[in-house]
Amino acid sequence: MSVESVLLYVLGVLVIVIGLAVSIGLHEVGHLLPAKLFGVRVTQYMIGFGPTIFSRKRGETEYGFKAIPLGGFIAMSGMYPPKRPGGAPREASTGFLQALSGDEKQARQQHPAGLSAMIQEAREASAETIVQGEEHRTFYQLPVWKRIVIMVGGPAMNLVLGFVFYAIVMVGFGVAQPGLTVSSVNECVVASDSAQTDCTDDDPIAPGAEAGVLPGDEIVAIDGEQAANWDQVSGVIRGAAGRTIALDVLRDGEPLTLQVTPLLTERAVVDDDDAVVTDADGEVVTQEVGFVGITPQYEVAQQPITEVPAAVGENVERVVHLILNLPQRLVDVAQAAFGGAERDPDGPISVVGVGRFAGEIAALDTIPVADKVSAMLGILASLNVALFVFNLVPLMPLDGGHVAGAVWEGVRRFFAKLFGRPDPGPVDTAKVIPLTFVVVILLGGMSALLIYADLVNPISLFG
């Protein structure tokens, strides 16, 4: 690899690191703004975790950067209510990497007797940070809907960023999609599961080659219908096996009509993600379709803004599916990391893996700069959608855990009012602190596994 390629690789990694840091920073802004608007006392706004490398206090809030820019948090007074009415609430933060503060670690060491002691000490550890006379500015005393707005504000900011990045990529740069120009024509027909790369005298000639289709031909119409896109063309071909159809093309600007007879072939069924579909017994599902043996030339085409929501929605669906299948995916990653198995290109990766992708794209000298920029923005779009979905998982200390606590409190109060019962008060979310520690440990272990796998057995975009 040349010095220039190395520098471009490093530049690609830096672009993603900075983009991720900005995305995290704006995520915390999504928490900060509504918290300030609703009068909650916010003592810290930090990008990163670990030791503080720079900070400056503005009013009552300290703004700064920490050494490892892979997280962020804002510290608000009273995210956990006191055990009893009138007790001192505690100051806490929104970032899961900050869930185990120094005071809480000390409390656990001093009171190892049980979970109840740990919970109570965690409640009391930061009581002195609450300014006397400003107890009303604690998070837990806000109406339920305001707490939900504050906690959803962070993920919502990532969703907005995802929309913005997707819009720039799709509307501004365009998306590669199959056009109506023929890129290549198969000379013969071979089995779909064959490893054969060259035609032999025993192989039947492919229908497209037999009809005289050539690379560079632009398809104008098929079977008497105006050609609108490649999906339409391939759909007609699949349904016309054994029937001769007219293929109108432009060759060197001259119109030409070719007669082609698609061959009946058996092909594997694939889903929307181009993955092979299998039945309950694990056998590949096949279907009989027409085959001509031509492939389209891909073209970059700008998309209308109305296509952006669909792209974001598909990305959200993929991330949700990944999270729902995360245990098995992590087992697969572990087998790849420690057993040498092949990594699933659609499986989870760490920020190290994402950085490798960016570096490979930046160092590639076969694509124009505009395509590199588009690819980088596409990565940042996917990262922000992933942050949106992941942070809504209803487990503390993720934002979704705080939302779930607020929703449960609202449900309890609704039914208490409905049946004329006393107000049950705020939900004691401090009781899930032990579970929070478990979640943090699991997330840390998952991150370590993915980083190790991305170092020893990475997924490569280009093989």
- H/E stretch holding 246 reads strand 245-251
Alpha carbon separation from 263 to 239, 285, 291, 448 (Å, rounded): 10, 19, 5, 51
CB-count burial class (<10 Å; 0-12, 13-18, 19+) for 302: exposed
314 counts as catalytic: no
Q: Is the Cβ–Cβ distance between 119 and 430 less than 8 Å?
A: yes
Cis bond upstream, residue 397 (ω within 30): yes
- H/E stretch holding 436 reads helix 433-456
- Side chain identity at residue 380, one-letter code: L
- Residue 10's nearest CA partner among 359, 458, 353, 354 is 359
Report d(CA 31, CA 61) in Å as an integer.
Answer: 14
Catalytic residue among 4, 28, 187, 299: 28
State the CB neighbour count (10 A cutoff) for residue 67.
10
- H/E stretch holding 13 reads helix 3-37
DSSP 8-state symbol, 343: P
- Residue 347's nearest CA partner among 363, 366, 365, 326 is 326
Report d(CA 165, CA 174) in Å as an integer.
Answer: 12
State the CB neighbour count (10 A cutoff) for residue 214.
16
- Residue 104's nearest CA partner among 78, 125, 127 is 125
DSSP 8-state symbol, 188: B
Alpha carbon separation from 350 to 10, 340, 353, 454, 458 (Å, rounded): 17, 18, 5, 7, 10
Residue with tokens 């995290």: 24
Q: Is the Cβ–Cβ distance between 293 and 185 less than 8 Å?
A: yes
Q: Is the Cβ–Cβ distance between 90 and 79 less than 8 Å?
A: yes
- Side chain identity at residue 75, one-letter code: A
Report d(CA 29, CA 33) in Å as an integer.
Answer: 6
Report d(CA 366, CA 379) in Å as an integer.
Answer: 19
Residues noted as catalytic: 28
